[in-house]
Amino acid sequence: MSALSIVITVLQLLSGLALTVIVLMQSGKSAGLSGAISGGAETFLSKGRAKTLDAKLAKMTKWFGLGFVLLTLVLTVVIH
């Protein structure tokens, strides 16, 4: 194993752990049709949603997920 693959593996491990923690910190959403309707109205009507903790965690989830996928692809190319 080369040093580059070890570094990428460690980064992937850390990003996977961070992604797990971020997802577990998010609050649950209401299930069913009523939850979908009220959730959509809540998002549309509340202009300050971007400042809430759940919105920040959702944004972090997207970025860490993207980073995890990219690190996985890079690691696959480096190993093979």
Give residue-wise pLDDT tens across range 34-74.
555 655 555 555 556 556 888 899 999 999 999 999 999 99
Predicted confidence at residue 28, as pLDDT, reads: 78
By residue range, what is the domain housing residue 35? 3-79
Supply angle C-alpha 66, 67, 72, rounded to 5: 100
How many structural domains compose the chain? 1
Give residue-wise pLDDT tens across range 30-41.
655 555 565 555
pTM for the whole structure: 0.67
Dihedral (C-alpha) 48, 51, 57, 62: value to the nearest 10 degrees?
Answer: 70
